[in-house]
């Protein structure tokens, strides 16, 4: 009798734990982006807490309501979140607005630029070496499906950028040393020396290859692999991927702004 009672209690505990686990999985907060082309349901990642908290705050404030997807590039991405886009005149150049602050980068290797992810826009490396994110501008990846040859070209591009960044770093270090010691900045000397140091450092780091788990996704679902570890990905569209395709296909002007405004409204479900 005691043995039967013990088994019953164990079974009850197991069922309760399963129910709790399912409940926890269902408690992921979902959000909806409403557009004239349909709705997109998305979630935000716990692995990027600074971006998640900021985006939730802005949604709760109604910050995005009435803003435009102001930059759209087919087979690449759709971008919005510029407060200057609200009631913007037709043809007006957009993309420089924000809430007045940026967010530290939150790169997570297992989160990458597959189709449907939401990532933060930002200023370029030349003025933003820390790769800090815009406080409000974001983009949703459409991308494309990649072949083996396409992947190899992306890897070559990424590695060329890595090498160039190392060369630039060593040139800047040589310039700073010359200034601090009162020496002359002789580019005919420091550039070849910087390249040599960069190539040695690059060799030690090794040639970057896109991991197999990412490669498989890029060759099936698609995305934009060259943006990995350069822009923070912090969310994912889980319903309405076809809406991304519809918006990406609209007619745009020379600045990639849709000729017909594509407004958004984002709310918590």
Q: Is 37 helix (H, G, I), strand (E, B) or coil?
A: coil
**Are 136 and 163 in a shared domain?**
no
Indicate whether 165 and 89 sit together in one domain: no
Q: Is residue 184 part of a domain?
A: yes
Could you give the CA distance from residue 145 to residue 217 in angstroms, rounded to a whole number? Answer: 9
One domain, residues 93 and 160: no
How many other C-beta atoms can be found within 10 angstroms of the C-beta atom of residue 182?
6
**Residue 74: domain span:** 29-145+221-268
CB 243 within 8 A of CB 53: no
Between the alpha carbon of residue 103 and those of residues 58, 130, 132, 203, the distances in Å are: 13, 10, 5, 32
pTM of the model: 0.84
Q: Are residues 130 and 54 in the same domain?
A: yes
**Parallel, antiparallel or unpaired: strands 38-44 and 30-35:** antiparallel
* Token output for 102: 């940026």
118 shares its domain with 171: no
Shared domain for 137 and 169, answered yes or no, is no
Q: Which long-range contacts (CB under 8 A, 24 or more apart) does 19-27 make?
A: none
- As a dihedral over the C-alpha atoms of residue 187, residue 190, residue 192, residue 193, rounded to 10 degrees, the angle is 180
* pLDDT at residue 229 in the model: 92
**Residue 25 pLDDT:** 52
| CATH code at position 126 | 2.40.100.10
CB atoms inside a 10 Å sphere around CB 42:
21
| Residue 18: predicted pLDDT | 53
pLDDT at 21: 47
Does a structural domain hold residue 93?
yes
**Per-residue pLDDT, 16:** 52
The pLDDT, as a whole number, for residue 182 is 82
Q: Are 119 and 240 in the same domain?
A: yes
User: Which residue ranges in the chain fall short of pLDDT 50?
Assistant: 1-13, 20-24
Kindly state whether residues 37 and 104 are assigned to the same domain. Answer: yes
Look at the chain and report how many structural domains it folds into: 2
Residues 249 and 262 in one domain: yes
Q: How far apart are CA 246 and CA 251, in angstroms?
A: 11
Q: Are residues 73 and 129 in the same domain?
A: yes
Tell me what pLDDT residue 6 has.
Answer: 44
pLDDT of the residue at 5: 44
Give the per-residue pLDDT at 186.
85
Q: Is 237 helix (H, G, I), strand (E, B) or coil?
A: strand
Task: Retrieve residue 160's tokens.
Answer: 């060329």
Residues 200 and 240 in one domain: no
């Amino acid at each position: 009798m005691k043995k039967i009672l013990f088994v019953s209690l164990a079974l009850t505990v197991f069922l309760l734990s399963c129910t709790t686990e399912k409940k926890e999985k269902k408690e992921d907060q979902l959000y909806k982006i409403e557009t004239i082309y349909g709705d997109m349901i998305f979630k935000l990642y716990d692995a990027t807490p600074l971006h998640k908290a900021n985006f939730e705050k802005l949604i709760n404030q109604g910050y995005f309501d009435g803003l435009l997807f102001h930059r759209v590039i087919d087979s690449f991405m759709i971008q919005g979140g510029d407060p200057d886009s609200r009631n913007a005149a037709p043809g007006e150049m957009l993309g420089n607005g924000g809430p007045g602050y940026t967010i530290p980068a939150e790169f997570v290797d297992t989160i990458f630029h597959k189709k449907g992810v939401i990532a933060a826009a930002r200023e370029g490396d030349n003025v933003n070496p820390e790769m800090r994110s815009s406080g409000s501008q974001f983009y949703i990846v459409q991308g494309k499906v990649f072949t083996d040859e396409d992947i190899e070209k992306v890897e070559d591009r990424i590695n060329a950028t890595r090498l160039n960044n190392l060369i630039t770093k060593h040139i800047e270090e040589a310039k700073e040393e010359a200034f601090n010691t009162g020496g002359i900045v002789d580019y005919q000397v420091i550039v070849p020396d910087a390249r040599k140091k960069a190539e040695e450092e690059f060799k030690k780091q090794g040639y970057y290859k896109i991991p197999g788990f990412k490669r498989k996704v890029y060759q099936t679902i698609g995305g934009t692999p060259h943006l990995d570890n350069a822009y923070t990905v912090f969310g994912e569209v889980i319903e309405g991927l076809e809406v991304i395709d519809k918006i990406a296909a609209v007619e745009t002007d020379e600045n990639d702004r849709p000729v017909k405004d594509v407004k958004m409204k984002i709310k918590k479900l």
